[in-house]
């Protein structure tokens, strides 16, 4: 599919749940967000149908996200069914990693290619603070299991917040040098609770500067799996560091993605409230050609670029859109 700005759209991010076992401070309020009823959330077979339609339109890669995708019942079966769809070359997943220790091998066996694991600190107490309830030991078990299962390259998503974890930038860089882990520093976006709290965003250029003063950064080629990150190897190290500059230098001109929310809305842009309902027509028995037309319409509505710097004026949290 091509949008009105001549971008090829071949990547679909699917939020398979709006529920989460953590309450990260920049993502959700302590009490969580109002959850949709089970009947409002896409059933697994509905997700598979929509993925098949999307694959018929040229979507080749799907990422499962949420909420926390691993709290969704039968997620392994979902991965198996998605992996069997002709034309889908890669199924990946973004997770907080808490349940990955016990699930990594079955996910790999079902056809999952790789995982991104969110980990904003290497310190046990800080991890509990930022997630409000998480145990970092479980995340490490998840990371080790992902490596052992071959869900590679294993990427760690690290959101840097000034005054919270910006003193750990070099610790993460060292980790990427010593282990086969790919650290992706993500600029904090003013979305949901992060918008309300005004928590401090740190520009990627500053993070990169701090790392390059200690470790020479060797640019890595742009791979299909790099997404919006610009990646570097550190001084011949085993892993890499990447920077996602959603705020300081947006990558909208290279955007190749569409989002499907847990309650069945196609969302042309993370930071734009326009959504198109596809669950209603699906449940009303629309034929696949009609569903395909809804996908095409969503793609045609993609804006040229996001307007994050104008502030967040929307009703949804990141966990409801699928970060
Ligand atoms: N629960 C899963 C997890 O945490 O990996 C998947 C969903 S979560 C919404 C996806 C990613 O969005 C995580 O890496 C998280 O750190 C990131 N995220 C959430 N709120 C954010 C914000 N305001 N700015 C930047 N990244 C954010
Ligand atoms: Fe849950 Fe992920 Fe949001 Fe943290 S970032 S609260 S793990 S959805």
* pLDDT given at position 65: 98
Task: Give the length of the chain.
Answer: 323
As given in the structure block, the two tokens for residue 27 are: 């993502």
Tens of pLDDT, residue by residue over 47-78, are 999 999 999 999 999 999 999 999 999 999 99
Helix (H) or strand (E) holding 230: strand 230-234
Q: Name the band, by pLDDT with cuts 50, 70 and 90, for residue 193.
A: confident
Atom of ligand 2 nearest to the CA of 317: 3
Task: Please tell me the distance between residue 271's alpha carbon and the centre of ligand 2 in angstroms.
Answer: 17
* pLDDT given at position 168: 98
Residue numbers belonging to the annotated binding site:
13, 20, 24, 26-27, 63, 67, 94, 118, 155, 189, 252, 255, 257-259, 269
3-class secondary structure for 58-71?
CCCEEEEECCCHHH
As given in the structure block, the two tokens for residue 263 are: 């309650």
How do beta strands 155-160 and 90-95 pair? unpaired
Query: How far is residue 144's CA from residue 146's CA, in Å, rounded to a whole number?
Result: 5
Q: Is 53 exposed, middle or buried (0-12, 13-18, 19+ CB in 10 A)?
A: buried
* pTM of the complete model beyond 0.85: yes
* pLDDT given at position 322: 72
319: Cβ below 6 Å to ligand 2? yes
Alpha-helix runs per DSSP H in 31-168: 44-56, 75-83, 100-110, 124-131, 136-149
28: Cβ below 6 Å to ligand 2? yes
Q: Where are the domains of the chain?
A: 11-321
As given in the structure block, the two tokens for residue 76 are: 């392994």
More confident residue, 197 or 140: 140
More confident residue, 182 or 198: 182
* pLDDT given at position 320: 73
- Degrees (nearest 5) of the Cα angle 239, 243, 246? 155
Q: Which CATH number does the domain 11-321 belong to among 3.30.460.20, 3.30.9.10, 3.40.50.720, 3.20.20.70?
A: 3.20.20.70
320: Cβ below 6 Å to ligand 2? no
Q: Is the pLDDT of residue 21 over 80?
A: yes
- Degrees (nearest 5) of the Cα angle 14, 251, 166? 90
Q: 63: left (phi > 0), else alpha (psi -120 to 50), else beta?
A: beta
Please state the φ and ψ torsions of residue 155, each to the nearest 5 degrees: -110, 140
Please state the φ and ψ torsions of residue 286, each to the nearest 5 degrees: -60, 135
More confident residue, 182 or 318: 182
Contact 189, 22 (CB under 8 A): no
Provide the β-strand partners of residue 257: 11
Tens of pLDDT, residue by residue over 156-169, are 999 999 999 999 99
């Amino acid at each position: 599919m091509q949008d009105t700005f001549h971008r090829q759209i071949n990547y679909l991010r699917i939020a398979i749940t709006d529920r989460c076992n953590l309450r990260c401070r920049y993502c959700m309020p302590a009490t969580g967000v109002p959850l949709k009823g089970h009947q409002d959330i896409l059933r697994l077979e509905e997700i598979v149908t929509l993925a098949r339609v999307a694959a018929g339109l040229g979507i080749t890669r799907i990422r499962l996200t949420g909420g926390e995708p691993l709290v969704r019942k039968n997620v392994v079966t979902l991965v198996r069914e998605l992996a069997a769809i002709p034309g889908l070359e890669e199924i990946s997943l973004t997770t907080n990693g808490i349940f990955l220790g016990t699930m990594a091998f079955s996910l790999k066996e079902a056809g999952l290619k790789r995982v991104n694991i969110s980990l904003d600190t290497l310190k046990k107490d800080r991890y509990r603070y930022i997630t409000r309830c998480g145990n970092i030991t479980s995340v490490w078990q998840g990371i080790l299991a992902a490596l052992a299962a071959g869900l590679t390259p294993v990427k760690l998503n690290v959101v840097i917040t000034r005054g919270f974890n910006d003193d750990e930038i070099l610790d993460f860089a060292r980790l990427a040098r010593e282990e086969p882990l790919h650290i992706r520093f993500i600029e904090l976006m003013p979305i949901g609770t992060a918008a309300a709290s005004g928590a401090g965003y740190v520009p990627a250029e500053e993070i990169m500067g701090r790392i390059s003063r200690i470790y020479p950064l060797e640019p890595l080629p742009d791979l299909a799996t790099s997404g919006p990150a610009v990646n570097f190897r550190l001084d011949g190290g085993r892993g890499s560091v990447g920077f996602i500059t959603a705020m300081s230098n947006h990558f909208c001109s290279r955007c190749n993605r569409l989002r499907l929310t847990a309650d069945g809305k196609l969302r042309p842009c993370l930071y734009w409230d326009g959504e198109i309902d596809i669950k209603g027509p699906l449940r009303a028995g629309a034929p696949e050609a009609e569903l395909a037309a809804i996908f095409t319409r969503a793609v045609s509505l993609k804006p040229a670029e996001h307007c994050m710097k104008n502030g967040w004026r929307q009703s949804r949290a990141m966990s409801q859109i699928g970060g």
